Amino acid sequence: GDHAPPQEAQHTYIFRDLMHSHRPWLAAPPDGPQEQILYQKGQLIGRGGCGRVYLGMNVRRGTLIAIKQVELGLRRSDMEALDREVQLLRELRHPRVVQYFGTNRSDTVLTVLLEYVPGGSLASLLRKFGAFREPVIRVYLMQILQGIEYLHRCQPPIVHGDIKAANILVAVNGDIKV
């Protein structure tokens, strides 16, 4: 149903869930009120062990984003791991790493705003096209290694810990994101 969102000041983004509500949610992103953002949450585009990913849109600019939502009924150790992941994402800036835009936490859901990579995962491309030819494998592997190298050169070094085809994204121009 339609209900007013909680009035949480600095750590809430504006969302409008296209399927359930016609009211926008208003507040400022964690980086400060000067970067207030209005997003619209669209269709489900993926799900994994950690939650669901929706397509989103910045309604002021028209840019697309990925909205990852994780239910917060997790064990304390899982919550701490999620908090560490978000903290790491805030610091990362590299063309081979998915860009982080912000976070929102309600009582029940952690929402992470990320760069949308429209090509999908390597796993989905393998299902659609079958085995890749060697030149494509070389291009993809070089870019994957560039992303991993960047993570390992961070101080302290970051170990991805879950490199697999389902977690490697491919942009429509062939750019890889880990």
Residues in the chain: 178
Cβ–Cβ under 8 Å, residues 146 and 96:
yes
Structural contact between residues 63 and 120, judged by C-beta atoms closer than 8 angstroms:
no
Q: Which two tokens stand for residue 61?
A: 């600019």
Find tokens 């409008």 and name the residue: 16
Q: Determine the Cα–Cα distance for residues 59 and 53; give it in Å rounded to an integer.
A: 18
Contacts of 27 (CB under 8 A, 6+ apart): 7, 8, 9, 10, 11, 12, 13, 14, 36
First to last CA, the chain: 37
**Active-site option among 2, 107, 162, 175:** 162
CA 150 from chain centre, in angstroms, equals 18
Tokens 């909205």 map to which residue? 67
Active site residue 83: no
Tell me the catalytic residues. 162
